[in-house]
Amino acid sequence: MAKTFGWRCDVALAAAVLLACVGCGRGAPVAGPQADGAAATALRATLAEASEGGGGSAAAVSTGTGWATLKGTFTFLGSPAAPKELVVDKDTEVCSRGGMKLYERSLIVDDATKGLANVVVFLRKSTRVKTEASPDQVLFDQKNCEFLTPVFAARVGQPVSVKNSDPIGHNTNISGTSFNQLIPAGDSTIFTSGRETGLPVSVTCNIHPWMKAYAVFREDGYVAVSANNGSFTIPDLPAGEPLEFQVWHERATGRSGALSLDQPELKWNAKGRFKLTLTEGEVRDLGTLEVPVDAIGG
Amino acid sequence: MSACGSVSSQSGKNSPAVALEETSPGTSPRQRDRAIGGRGSTGLPWLLLAAMPLVAIGCGPTPAASFRLNMFEASQQRLKPSQEQQVATILAAMFGSPDEPVVLAETGLDEAKLQLAAGPVRSDIVGRKNGLYREHCAHCHGVTGDGMGPTAAFLNPYPRDYRPGVFKFKSTERADKPTHDDLVLVLRNGLAGSSMPSFDLLSESKIDALAEYVKYLSIRGEVELALMRAYFELDDEDQGKLPETREFLVEEILAPVAEAWQSAEDAVIDVPEMPADIDLVASIAKGKELFYGNKANCVKCHGVTGLGDGQANDYDDWNKVVLQAHKTVQGGLEQASKASTWEMDSDELSEHEADLVWLERFGKVLDGNALQPRMIRPRNLRQGIYRGGMRPLDLYYRIHAGINGAPMPAAKGTVPPEDIWHIVNYIRSLPYDFNGTLGVDRPMVARDRL
């Protein structure tokens, strides 16, 4: 009996030591909160109730009439470092043809005007839309192992022609959409987004990992990407009602790329959003929107 | 020791607060201690005395199992504690608990099946087993279906995290959900070359219940992600709180997720039959040409040898988000360390401090609530081991639709069906292909040679 005991104890100790050790391997999980049982039961009753017809979404009540235009120009207050050269270690006969080099394009600033390119501005919620989605294709091309449009916008339901102008094959992988398609040399395929993206999503080529771009899909098409001189224009916006815009840049330090500027009169907040109301027929020019150095991360 | 073991390795350190989560069922530690000590024993040996507190701390009393909140996404979205609490409560309202799952009609899920799969492992009065998920799946996939059961860290590839609602091996287009039958097939056959075993010995109704439960965990996980991401989309007037209305929670958040699962049933890829009179030798040759050519471009990732040694430094979607989060945290801490705090006014300073607190916590979450990111290797096509099944049809699906969540792109649209069949035939010949002439004197297969 005593012998069995000792043996059992050894096993117990060994197991205990083992447990203690296994416990130390990885960091302890951060415990989340537990559900509030009473509140959950009450909420379940609310949710289980049969939907009482109609209902109608809370948003989307138009209060104004007519249309207006918003424009502005982003400028960068710093001097961007020379862009990094990308490591091209594949298909060099095409991607580095004639000693051509590829550079990363996350911060494109115009030398002369200091205009900041590829800032995305879009209306968060719209109550009405002037024009339906165009059936015209948006071209998204790649050549010399680079996406030709670093940031592109399209409407939900609008066909995007994903093209490959290279003599080698690529694949185009748009995150968040499950679109990942082989694009043979010189070929193209059509992608139509079925739903909105919140903030822009990344577009990559898995075959050539240095290739990167961003895409944004909006239901109402009230979206603009700033041009090389930093300017953007969104026409045909609903006038006479409060509008809220979201601003994004690939390297903005705000959450998920939200670009936040110090513009108290526009109530520009940390989420990279500003608010204004346009009057009918107005062309509101926000002028020069200066982006300070610390709004852009590394 | 099973209950004890799983608690300890899941909760990492032996903190009681953590041990509350994801406990597996089983005997309580007290019962077990009694069993070890034996009945009526006097004067316990010191070894046991020393071991007991460890065991006791490791397990504590066995509380009801609970779902683990997606702390990774909560950190990513920088949710406040009150917001995390709100998500936990909404999820409990919509989906119940691991012991008592409930579902709204909109999910299209069968609660009776879920109950067979849910809860602790137990038998009813006629000896029918319940708690199938925890008996067969939770060790690897976790009680929450987060792919982080106690054994997960030791497996390669990691067990699937159901929460993003992305599944690789299915008969539907890349962006679509798997059908119920797709999940059943994976349960029946297992996934060759991974740790996923075959559960073919389970009865049809049990497999069916498990497939239903996987859908339940997946829908729950997707709703959780959608809720957490919805905070960013809130307007200022909402004051950081999601509306707890049927309109928002069911119609806006749950319905799209559930509909995607339901529509998958009618979205099976239409595969044209392989031409019956196909000349196999010619087809293999054509497939080889496509494999190396610029149209299908398989060679870029699967390599000139077909050994999967082409583009081999990529990540799948599950690992990529963790990798990016590591970069966010490291980059954030670096930037914060460079910040000149003495130039800041009080607002900026408190913002800076809040950033640091968030980064530090996110770091801990990455450490304890996520697995170390791991690269994904393109399949070695010379082994004849295909995770998603070895039928020609399975390979057709993989090539046509690509593999959701993985870098493998879809060939549909740009590669016509007959060409896909040629590639299938070529791939199926690869394990038997070698640099020589096939003949009775050279029966060696590539696998032996390599």
Say whether both B98 and B180 belong to one domain.
yes
Q: What is the mean pLDDT of residues B123-131?
A: 86
Asked whether the beta carbons of A277 and A62 are under 8 A apart, the reply is no
Are the Cβ atoms of B235 and A244 closer than 8 angstroms?
yes
Residue of A4, A18, A26 for testing the chain B interface, max B β-carbons within 10 Å: A26
Name the nearest CA neighbour of A111 among A147, A149, A76, A148: A76
**pLDDT confidence band for A88 (50 / 70 / 90):** very high
**pLDDT confidence band for A21 (50 / 70 / 90):** very low
Is 50 exceeded by the pLDDT of residue B142?
yes
**A234 in any annotated domain:** yes
Tell me: the pLDDT tens digits for A129-145? 998 877 789 999 999 99
Q: List B residues 360-379 in contact with A (Cβ-Cβ < 8 A).
A: 361, 364-365, 367-369
Tell me: the pLDDT tens digits for A54-79? 444 445 677 888 999 999 999 999 98
Task: Identify the domain containing residue A175 by its residue range.
Answer: 67-295
The bridge status of strand A283-291 relative to strand A67-76 is: parallel
pLDDT for B45 = 57
Tell me: the pLDDT tens digits for A152-187? 999 999 999 999 999 999 999 999 888 999 999 999
**A27 in any annotated domain:** no
Is 60 exceeded by the pLDDT of residue B36?
no
B443 — contact with chain A (CB < 8 Å)?
no
> What are A107's two structure tokens?
């911060």
Tell me: the pLDDT tens digits for A277-289? 999 999 999 999 9
In this predicted model, which residue has the larger pLDDT, A122 or A253?
A122
Is 50 exceeded by the pLDDT of residue B25?
no
Tell me: the pLDDT tens digits for A180-211? 999 999 999 999 998 898 899 999 999 999 99
pLDDT for A60 = 60
Is 70 exceeded by the pLDDT of residue A15?
no
Residue of B4, B8, B10, B248 for testing the chain A interface, max A β-carbons within 10 Å: B8
What is the overall mean pLDDT for chain B?
A: 85
Q: Which of B4, B250, B415 lies at the smallest CB-CB distance from A182? A: B415
Distance (Å, whole) CA B224 – CA B74:
10
In this predicted model, which residue has the larger pLDDT, B26 or B313?
B313
- Calculate how close chain A gets to B4, using CA atoms only, in Å: 8
Say whether both B300 and B423 belong to one domain.
yes
pLDDT for A22 = 47
B245 — contact with chain A (CB < 8 Å)?
yes
Tell me: the pLDDT tens digits for B309-336? 888 889 999 999 999 999 999 988 998 8
Q: What residue in A sits closest to B57 (Cα-Cα)?
A: A20
Q: What is the mean pLDDT of residues B362-371?
A: 95
Cα dihedral A62→B247→B180→B224 (10° resolution): 100
- Calculate how close chain A gets to B27, using CA atoms only, in Å: 16
Are the Cβ atoms of A169 and B66 closer than 8 angstroms?
no
Say whether both B109 and B221 belong to one domain.
yes
B411 — contact with chain A (CB < 8 Å)?
yes
B88 — contact with chain A (CB < 8 Å)?
yes
Q: Which of A31, A179, A244 lies at the smallest CB-CB distance from B18? A: A31
Name the nearest CA neighbour of B197 among B208, B188, B205, B206: B188
Say whether both B285 and B392 belong to one domain.
yes
What percent of chain A lies above the pLDDT cut of 90?
67
Beta-carbon-side half-sphere exposure of residue A187 (alpha carbons within 13 Å): 22
Distance (Å, whole) CA A213 – CA A149:
7
| CATH number for A104 | 2.60.40.420
Is 90 exceeded by the pLDDT of residue A106?
yes
CA angle in degrees (0–180, nearest 5) for A157-B222-A47 = 95
On the 0-12 / 13-18 / 19+ scale of CB atoms within 10 A, B91 is buried
Distance (Å, whole) CA B270 – CA B106:
28
pLDDT for A16 = 54
pLDDT for A31 = 87
Residues with Cβ < 8 Å from B42, sequence gap 6 or more?
none
Say whether both B134 and B260 belong to one domain.
yes
**A42 in any annotated domain:** no
Asked whether the beta carbons of A243 and A214 are under 8 A apart, the reply is no
pLDDT for A12 = 54
Q: Which of A6, A35, A181 lies at the smallest CB-CB distance from B92? A: A35
Are the Cβ atoms of B153 and A26 closer than 8 angstroms?
yes
Which whole-number Å values give the CA distances from B373 to A256, B152, B281, B367, in the listed order?
Answer: 20, 13, 42, 11
Say whether both B245 and B198 belong to one domain.
yes
**B95 in any annotated domain:** yes
A16 — contact with chain B (CB < 8 Å)?
yes
B300-317 CB burial, b ≥16 within 10 A, e <16: bbbbeebbbebbeebbbb
Which whole-number Å values give the CA distances from B380 to B204, B298, B312, B427, in the listed order?
Answer: 33, 12, 11, 10
A132 — contact with chain B (CB < 8 Å)?
no
Q: What is the mean pLDDT of residues A40-47?
A: 92
Number of domains chain B is built from: 4
Are the Cβ atoms of B11 and A29 closer than 8 angstroms?
yes
Is 50 exceeded by the pLDDT of residue B404?
yes
Contacts of the segment B17-22: beta carbons below 8 A, 24+ positions apart = B17/A31, B18/A28, B18/A29, B18/A31, B19/B58, B19/B59, B19/B60, B20/A31, B20/A34, B20/B60, B20/B63, B20/B66, B21/A29, B21/A31, B21/B66, B21/B68, B22/B65, B22/B66, B22/B67, B22/B68, B22/B142, B22/B143, B22/B144
Q: What is the mean pLDDT of residues A67-93?
A: 93
pLDDT for B10 = 40
**B272 in any annotated domain:** no
Number of domains chain A is built from: 1
ipTM, 2 decimals?
Answer: 0.81
B15 — contact with chain A (CB < 8 Å)?
yes
Tell me: the pLDDT tens digits for B335-349? 888 888 888 888 889
Q: List A residues 145-174 in contact with B (Cβ-Cβ < 8 A).
A: 167-169, 171-173
Q: List B residues 253-282 in contact with A (Cβ-Cβ < 8 A).
A: none
Q: List B residues 132-151 in contact with A (Cβ-Cβ < 8 A).
A: none
Are the Cβ atoms of B14 and A23 closer than 8 angstroms?
yes
A285 — contact with chain B (CB < 8 Å)?
no
Say whether both B384 and B357 belong to one domain.
no
Say whether both B364 and B386 belong to one domain.
no
In this predicted model, which residue has the larger pLDDT, B39 or B77?
B77
B312 — contact with chain A (CB < 8 Å)?
no
Asked whether the beta carbons of B251 and A49 are under 8 A apart, the reply is no
**B65 in any annotated domain:** no
Which whole-number Å values give the CA distances from A32 to A24, B227, B302, in the listed order?
Answer: 20, 15, 41
Say whether both B381 and B436 belong to one domain.
yes
**A220 in any annotated domain:** yes
Give the number of other CB atoms < 10 A from CB of residue B139: 19
Say whether both B326 and B305 belong to one domain.
no
- Calculate how close chain B gets to A232, using CA atoms only, in Å: 23
Give the number of other CB atoms < 10 A from CB of residue A232: 21
In this predicted model, which residue has the larger pLDDT, B413 or B204?
B204
Q: What residue in A sits closest to B6 (Cα-Cα)?
A: A19
Say whether both B100 and B39 belong to one domain.
no
Are the Cβ atoms of B295 and A34 closer than 8 angstroms?
no
Lowest mean pLDDT segment, chosen from A81-85, B13-17, B257-261, B416-420: B13-17
Task: Identify the domain containing residue B402 by its residue range.
Answer: 280-314+376-449
Q: Rounded to the nearest 5°, which phi and psi values hold at A223?
A: -145, 145
- Calculate how close chain B gets to A32, using CA atoms only, in Å: 6
Say whether both B288 and B402 belong to one domain.
yes
**A4 in any annotated domain:** no
B103-137 CB burial, b ≥16 within 10 A, e <16: bbebbebebebbbbbbbbbeeeeeeeebbbbbbbb
Show residues of chain B in contact with A32, CB under 8 Å: 68-71, 74, 84, 88
pLDDT for A26 = 66
**A83 in any annotated domain:** yes
Asked whether the beta carbons of A22 and B8 are under 8 A apart, the reply is yes
pLDDT for B21 = 45
Q: What is the mean pLDDT of residues B132-137?
A: 96
B195 — contact with chain A (CB < 8 Å)?
no
What percent of chain B lies above the pLDDT cut of 70?
82
B246 — contact with chain A (CB < 8 Å)?
yes
Lowest mean pLDDT segment, chosen from A94-98, A116-120, B235-239: B235-239
| CATH number for B400 | 1.10.760.10
Largest Cα separation within chain B, whole Å, is: 83
